[in-house]
Chain A
Amino acid sequence: MIGYGAYLMVGAGRIRVLPVYSRIGPRFFPYLIATAALLCGVLLLIEALRGRRAPPEAGEDVDLTARDNLRPVVFIACGLALGAVLMRPAGFVIASTVIFLTVAMAFGSRHRLRDIAVGLSLSLVAYLSFTRLLDLTLPAGILPL
């Protein structure tokens, strides 16, 4: 049923990809792609209704036998959102430490102090090498860097 919902979403998301401009030149390709997208959406829907589901992708760290658990996903998503919000006001080092920490926690780490230490030093090294060695700017934020 979850699969079915996702297919619907893909299909519906596709339908809204309809072009809205006037001239022939730039319109042709979007129309072509939108048509292809619609076709894929419809075919996927048919497959889903017939009860055919694709196997989830395998990977080195993936346990396919485990029931998928959305809690860590939501947790990481919140961490990323928080990081994006903090980027400007608090600076890169703090924002990326927050991201590091939430990901580590979502992956079930219990060594809170170690995670903070690793995350902080990683962010700091990255920040310093980017700003000092590569002349790229990153927000310093509230830290005196």
Chain B
Amino acid sequence: METLESLIHGFGVALSLSNLLWALIGVTLGTVVGILPGIGPALTVALLLPVTYGLDPVGSFIMFAGIYYGGMYGGSTTLILLNTPGESASIMTAVEGNQMARRGRGAAALATAAIGSFIAGTIATAALTFVAPAMVQLALKFGPADYFALMILAFTTVTSLLGSSVLRGMTSLVFGLALGLIGIDVQTGQARYTLGTLELLDGISVVIVAVGLFAVGETFYVASRQRKGAAQVEPIKGSIWMNRKEWARSWRPWLRGSLLGFPFGALPAGGAEIPTFLSYAIEKRLSRHKDEFGKGAIEGVAGPEAANNSAAAGVLVPLLTLGLPTSATAAIMLAAFQQFGLQPGPLLFTREPDLVWGLIASLYIGNAMLLVLNLPLVGIWVRLLSIPRPLLYGGILVFATLGTYSLSNSVVDLIALYVIGFIGFLMRRHGFPVAPAVIGMILGPMAESQFRRALAISQGDYSVFVTRPLSLTLLIIASLALFAPPVLAAIGRRRAARRAADDAAV
């Protein structure tokens, strides 16, 4: 009941005129950046950080959350309508949605994605509303050692889930951790890795790293492999109101996707990729229209889209209750909290109820706004897809430069931005995921201070991490996340080899 009261209070905050306006700006911006190739919600929030410095934190976070949710909705529109062979294999929605668009059912694909996203977003936000207070109760019992173990777990899941290999994810994470070391050591005041310069004493701003890796790196990379001629945008055909059969085939996948996505997002298990993939596999198995999969099955759009959105909402649980980001956007949002002098975690719920509950209430509102923005108005947004690429990427770099320069009016920052951008280009080119670097950079200093706090409490006894049951459990799961996949793969290979040998013998 207490939760409901808080939520009603939150709606009171979120329904104020200015906060509704922030939510509307957020979801609109989010839809736009979700649709535009080359930029995403993480980058947008990072670019807005310097701008929101002087604004009200509640309004800023309502806007950021709108961008976060809006990016998910907009992203699916691009996947469905943009015909980009080669890229699609990784994202299931794209395969089915694009096929549907080509067969003249693009509007239905967009509709099932948008309605599915709305249903999943609402279910997951409701789950967030009730899971978060319970998590807070649990989190209040956490000691520094437990927090450290939790962060190690987040590190390992993030590296093993993102990108093409654990080793590459790890390398990216370590790069981020090393960047996080730069600057004055908080606990002793020692300068670290500043190369003797004053500019680096404050550390490198996460804005620079995120904008460099995402915007500048992406621009370099796309420039190096330009498509000849513009990518083809499928026209939206058919009615946006799905017919009876399409509804019948969509609602179960929506619900299954929602239920699948949230727990994966809420666990520190790194984002939406696994539930999206699982949802696709499940829908394919359960469908009565198996033959349509790969050729435009509506279930293959409805399920994964719902799972994707639901997981995105789930990610907010560890972010708000534990201060633990498990995706790049969440990491930037954590940086935003730090900018306002707020520390997400169990205490945030008691210290800043307006912010937390206003934010959660605004998620319900934002979802409803997004449904309107993305269903009847989708035609307007689709035109964004035909912006000429030279102008699009030119604009991205102008805003990257603007956002970075306005941090502290320093040309050194700009040079750092461009250098990091070039590193981002090399990382993309050689298959290193960039998200772990951003997460590592934000979480690294936090992990270090929890680690040292734990050791200070235990008076230098390292066994503190393995004698506390919670911390030990988390560390065991972390090592499993890191080592289980390669071991399982090796066993699988051996079995396959043996079977092949058996077959040969027969």
Contacts and interface: CB of A to CB of B under 8 A. Distances in A.
Contact of A83 (B185, B224, B401): B401
A143 interface: no
B181 A30 contact: yes
A41 B192 CA distance: 22
B394 A19 contact: no
Nearest to A70: B224
Contact of B228 (A28, A63, A106, A139): A63
A99 B395 CA distance: 9
Contacts of A76: 219-220, 223, 397
A140 interface: no
B223 A100 contact: no
A44 B171 contact: yes
A118 interface: yes
Contact of A54 (B168, B177, B418): B168
A120 B181 CA distance: 39
A interface, how many residues as a size bin?
35 or more
A59 B418 contact: no
B188 A115 contact: no
B220 A99 contact: no
A122 interface: yes
A135 B54 contact: yes
Contact of A66 (B51, B225, B394, B444): B225
Interface in B195-237: 216, 218-228, 231
A41 B171 CA distance: 8
Given A60-B78, A104-B390, A87 B411 contact: yes
Contacts of B444: 29, 33
B398 A122 contact: yes
A103 B431 CA distance: 24
Given A60-B37, A109-B388, A138-B405, A29 B181 contact: yes
A72 to B, nearest CB: 4
B469 to A, nearest CB: 24
B411 A84 contact: yes
Interface residues of B, number: 75
Given A60-B84, A80-B418, A108-B226, A26 B192 contact: yes
B292 interface: no
- Interface SS majority for chain A: helix
B167 A43 contact: yes
Interface string B449-460: 001100000000
B390 A108 contact: yes
Interface string B35-52: 001100000000000110
Given A3-B430, A130-B402, A136-B406, A40 B226 contact: no
Given A76-B223, A99-B401, A61 B389 contact: yes
B226 A66 contact: yes
A44 B431 CA distance: 12
Interface in A52-102: 53-66, 68-70, 72-73, 75-77, 80-81, 83-84, 87-88, 92, 95-96, 99-101
A99 B397 contact: yes
B418 A84 contact: yes
Contact of B177 (A25, A33, A63): A33
A19 B188 contact: no
B415 interface: yes
Contacts of A62: 86-87, 221-222, 225, 227
B86 A73 contact: no
Interface stretch (B313-321, B349-357, B420-428): B420-428
A28 B190 CA distance: 13
Contacts of A103: 219, 223, 390, 393-394, 397
Nearest to A69: B224
Contacts of A7: 430
B399 interface: yes
Most buried by B among A34, A43, A73: A73
B243 interface: no
Given A26-B190, A68-B429, A115 B390 contact: yes
Contact of B190 (A23, A56, A92): A23
A39 B319 CA distance: 30
A33 to B, nearest CB: 5
Nearest to B460: A24
Given A104-B394, A109-B388, A66 B87 contact: no
A126 B394 contact: no
Contact of B171 (A40, A87, A122): A40
A109 B426 CA distance: 24
Contact of A77 (B395, B401, B422): B422
A58 B426 CA distance: 14
Most buried by A among B168, B171, B187, B219: B171
B467 interface: no
B178 A84 contact: no
B479 interface: no
5 contacts: A17-B178, A30-B181, A59-B221, A107-B226, A107-B394
Interface of A: 3, 6-7, 9-10, 14, 17, 19, 21, 23, 25-26, 28-30, 33-34, 36-37, 40-41, 43-44, 47, 53-66, 68-70, 72-73, 75-77, 80-81, 83-84, 87-88, 92, 95-96, 99-101, 103-109, 115, 118-119, 122-123, 126, 130, 134-139
Given A77-B220, A109-B388, A138-B405, 16 more contacts: A10-B171, A17-B193, A25-B185, A28-B452, A29-B444, A34-B178, A44-B168, A59-B428, A61-B84, A61-B389, A62-B227, A80-B216, A83-B401, A99-B394, A107-B223, A119-B398
- Interchain residue pairs A-B with the least CB separation, the first 9: A54-B431, A109-B390, A60-B37, A104-B390, A107-B390, A72-B223, A100-B394, A26-B185, A63-B227
